[in-house]
Chain A
């Protein structure tokens, strides 16, 4: 099973709202990623968690706050977003460490619209 699930599929929020995106995988992967993708563009890395610790933050604005409660779950908390934050948010996971296989598996994404 190479499935990464993301909820919700679609989200519309106002600029003053607080919402969260959720990602889950049960492949035993110990690295998890958040990406932002605009239409027909490559994904842009936002955050990487390795063994539940934040290892990479690509200078993402503080209105995006990641959280990794356990090795299977990854959340992205959203607050006071701007219309330009509207995008497809993708979660991914990969098998890292000594048994790493290197490829990342992506979820279907959450389509976020900020009004």
Chain B
């Protein structure tokens, strides 16, 4: 069965510093991986995805993620954090990628706090 783990409940970083939010996955076959962000009392916003191709994926708001097959990881990164990046971040993997409907398996979420 597909699964995703986010090992950190919370990540704290100072504004202007680089940030990393970790995600590891366990899948059979090739993984289809996603990052979403959720601001308080809002829905989830799609940030980026890895389906195939370059291991470094660039997404919205200056975020990027690095797919590492040997370490089964898909960490989210940003070179310089903003206070406005403070939110709840979810990593997800698509269950049964070849199927016509894409059930997402979510990690437990990581709260990012960026302090001024």
Contact, CB under 8 Å: B51 / A97 = no
Contact, CB under 8 Å: B102 / A94 = yes
A-B interface pairs (CB < 8 A), number: 66
Contact, CB under 8 Å: B100 / A97 = yes
Tell me, yes or no, whether B101 is within 8 Å of chain A by CB: yes
Interface size (B, Cβ < 8 Å)?
25
A110 smallest CB distance to B (angstroms): 10
Tell me, yes or no, whether B103 is within 8 Å of chain A by CB: yes
- How far, in whole Å, are A92 and B44 apart by their CA atoms in the complex? 9
What per-residue 1/0 map shows which CB atoms of B73-116 lie under 8 Å from chain A?
00000000000000010100010010011111011110100000
- How far, in whole Å, are A27 and B96 apart by their CA atoms in the complex? 23
Interface size class of A (residues with CB under 8 A): 20 to 34
> Considering the complex, which residues of chain A in the window 29-71 have a beta carbon less than 8 Å from any beta carbon of chain B?
31, 40-43, 45, 48, 50, 55-56
- How far, in whole Å, are A46 and B34 apart by their CA atoms in the complex? 20
Residues of A near B94 (CB, < 8 A) are: 102
Contact, CB under 8 Å: A109 / B43 = yes
A interface vs B, CB < 8 Å? 2, 4, 6, 31, 40-43, 45, 48, 50, 55-56, 88, 90, 92, 94, 96-97, 100, 102-109, 111
B interface vs A, CB < 8 Å? 32, 34, 36, 41-46, 49, 51, 88, 90, 94, 97, 100-104, 106-109, 111
